[in-house]
Amino acid sequence: MDYIRLHIQLPEDLHELLIAELFELDFEGFEQEKNMLIASISANRFDDVKREIIEQTLYTFDKAELVQEELVSPQNWNEKWEQTIEPQKIGKFYVRATWGNELSEHTDLIELLIDPKMAFGTGYHATTRLILEWISEIVTQGDDILDAGTGTGILGIAALKLGARSVFGFDVDEWSEDNCKENIHLNDVHGFEVKLGSLETVPKTAQYDVVLANINRNALIELIPGLLKHLKTNGRLLLSGLLEADERTILNLESVQQLNHLETRQNGEWIAMLFEQ
């Protein structure tokens, strides 16, 4: 599958806001350089309509300009960026790539080994951090977890290390499926099944104690009704990939109004929302 890469010049402090907009347009890989964002999308998901939407979006950003568009064969867009990833403490977790400094023996932190490819979910993005900081309060011993848009598998792996019994993860990104399986192996966790695809991959009668979905607003709006069919009574739904401005949109969804909204937490412009069935 070929990919389109857009080289967009804009101030570094605006990168995350534009990434949020591009996620909603099916972009799936990003490289961040000083005052330059390189965004990647499958060529079969890119057309003149999206190009026009992007041009209109860039017009709303100060000093933003599309300087290059290229068609390339599949590769690891983030390879150079991966090498800059440093270990980080997030909640109860110590997240590192295999080339990062190992966790000290004298600590209560839980180590997560995550070697990212194109998949979203290294722990660097605020949305992933929000869930990792919160998940230890939500997942309990023996829980069954549904991880929608599993990315690198970081959230499902974290849940298993907190005592979850099983995780079923799905993602439409081929890179994600392979990368998630690699990270499952690196962390030596068991009970994590990952499938390429969307809700249709979830066993029809499966019910879960916790549903995790760190994707984007448009995808969540489409997926939530189906996700709720797999959520147990008194089960918890944790959503992220949302901007502060998206909260009211999610709360107004008919499918969400049957739930109990427990809390919203925020990191900069980004939020995570917790509901109970």
Burial class (CB in 10 A: 0-12, 13-18, 19+), 60: exposed
Q: 273: Cβ–Cβ under 8 A, 6 or more apart, which residues? A: 238, 239, 240, 242, 247, 250, 261, 263, 264
The full set of domain ranges for the chain reads: 3-77, 119-276
**The predicted structure's pLDDT at residue 111:** 94
Select from 1.10.3470, 3.40.50, 3.60.21, 3.30.70 the CATH code of 3-77.
Answer: 3.30.70
**The predicted structure's pLDDT at residue 167:** 98
- Rounded Cα distance, 194 and 167, in Å: 8
| CB neighbours of residue 13 within 10 Å | 8
Burial class (CB in 10 A: 0-12, 13-18, 19+), 160: buried
**The predicted structure's pLDDT at residue 8:** 94
- Rounded Cα distance, 37 and 8, in Å: 5
- Rounded Cα distance, 30 and 26, in Å: 12
* Element holding 154 (H helix, E strand): helix 154-161
Model's pTM, two decimal places?
A: 0.75
Q: Which residues pair with 96 in a beta bridge?
A: 113
| Cβ contact 227:207 at 8 Å | no
pLDDT tens, per residue, the chain with 277 residues: 688 999 999 988 888 888 888 888 888 778 888 889 998 888 888 988 888 899 888 888 878 899 999 888 765 545 555 555 678 899 999 999 888 888 877 788 999 999 876 545 566 678 889 999 999 999 999 999 999 999 889 999 999 999 999 999 999 887 789 889 999 999 999 999 999 999 999 999 999 999 999 988 888 999 999 999 999 999 999 999 888 989 999 999 999 999 999 999 998 888 999 999 9
How is domain 119-276 classified at the CATH fold level? Rossmann fold (3.40.50)
